[in-house]
Amino acid sequence: MSVIASDQLKIVIGLGLTGISCAKLLARNNARFMVVDTRENPANLAAFQQEYPQVKVMLGPLDQELLASASELILSPGVAKDDPAITYALERGSKLVGDIDLFCREVSAPIIAITGSNAKSSVTTLVGEMAKQAGLNVGVGGNIGLPVLDFLSMPEKELYVLELSSFQLETTNDLRAEVACVLNLTPDHLDRYDNDFQKYYQAKHRIFKGCKKVVENLDDALTHPLVAKQVNITGFRLGESDFAIFGVLNQLEAGEPREYLALAKQPLLACDKIKLPGRHNVINALSALALGSQAGLPMASMLQAIEDFDGLEHRCQLVASKKGVSYFNDSKGTNVGATVAALEGLGPTLAQGKKVVLIAGGDGKGASFEDLAAPVRRYVQALVLIGTDAKRIANALDFEEIYFASSMQEAVQQAASLAQSGEIVLLSPACASFDMFDSYTQRGEVFSRAAEGL
């Protein structure tokens, strides 16, 4: 299937990686299009113009009349759709789409679509590994790895496993996923959604439009989809498994309790065979099993993939052990929910009386930090705060042992002086990184180097 060339004008908004991938597809399909970007000098401009000298590019504030002249506006995820010029064009009949819709027009293979506030990348990657273990030629991408349109320059895969952000889903109308899932929902990106959690929720739930099967998190009512009765739904939870529900099962073995991943109260895999520590990784494994089962992946392949899975960089990754203290890099924990999950995952693994020294802070994206208070009281012995919103976090938590640092290196040194043997130093910022770093990746690398160099 391919996009039919048309004389109707299409306008790509945004010249980032996604915008460029959209432009490349339109050029291959001989579509009539141009590119606009609100920035005066986008980083990719020179290279794009050299490759596509025939494509008109306009920079600076968006021109509402120009946008209104297009049949289709192809919006990059980094550009808010409520820009007045975009609103004006939509009111006059222009259609708003994104790269995911363009991708879905081109492929016929089934899609497993995954979103959520946290664990998207880990679960998407793990489901992809399950498919590979089953011998499928699978494409894993979207909001991680390859932009989806890059897959179109390759032979079509047998299955696509896509991580989708709320920004991508805002412009996704025709996904029609084979299996769709919202893993969890906690407030995030509220600076983008006018501090309105309902708007964020609605964007996430667009993943269910036209889907054939659903996986829901039975521990999080906000993930429950409003879909037609004929849509097949299965679920996962950290509690006991049940019919068509993935959960956990406790069994006595040689007089000792042992916990298993389970389905329909039947044990599948002992939880101690999961390489990654923490309850959140048990949840990730359960959600991946539910997704893979809905897609028809063999159970044996899925369980082997879970046993083999080493996790992702910057996601609760053990990066150093110094003087009996373990240093975990969770730089990808860019919202409060992610940090809560990390604390509730790692905290219970510590011996009695041992706790976590938490390094947090950055740009909070307009979020509230109150939900951190309970897990911090339960699992944290000291907080080291950095970045723009350090004082806001301190004020929200009303915690006794709070320290401030002006750099990551200083934060790691401070945390090392506070942690005792058998404890954990955890970088899980609950914030974006852009006030101090180029990306969460760079932030995690700086933390890891500082920990390794102690």
Please provide residue 172's backbone torsions phi and psi, each rounded to the nearest 5 degrees: -100, 120
The H or E element containing residue 4 is: none
Catalytic residue chosen out of the listed positions 143, 281, 284, 335: 143
The tokens describing 436, both together, are 């101090």
Residue 250 known to be catalytic: no
Amino acid letter, 383: L
CA distance 262 to 285: 11
CA distance 380 to 357: 6
Catalytic residue chosen out of the listed positions 81, 189, 204, 355: 189
Placement of tokens 């000298």 in the chain: 53
The H or E element containing residue 72 is: strand 72-75
| Number of CB atoms found within 10 A of residue 312's CB | 16
Rg (CA), the chain: 23
Q: Which of 228, 238, 142, 222 is nearest to 186 (CA)?
A: 222
For the residues of 405-427, what is the DSSP string, one character each? Answer: -SSHHHHHHHHHHH--TT-EEEE
For the residues of 37-58, what is the DSSP string, one character each? Answer: ESSSS-TTHHHHHHH-TTS-EE
Q: Which residues contact 110 (CB under 8 A, 6 or more apart)?
A: 159, 160, 177, 178, 179, 295
18 to 76, 122, 326, 355, 373: CA distances (angstroms): 6, 21, 38, 42, 37
Residue 212 known to be catalytic: no
Residue 280 known to be catalytic: no
CA distance 212 to 225: 12
Please provide residue 422's backbone torsions phi and psi, each rounded to the nearest 5 degrees: 90, 0
Amino acid letter, 407: S
CA distance 240 to 169: 32
Beta strands 266-270 and 138-142: pairing type?
unpaired
Catalytic residue chosen out of the listed positions 10, 24, 81, 120: 120
Q: Which of 51, 56, 46, 8 is nearest to 28 (CA)?
A: 51
Active-site residues, by number, are 120, 143, 189
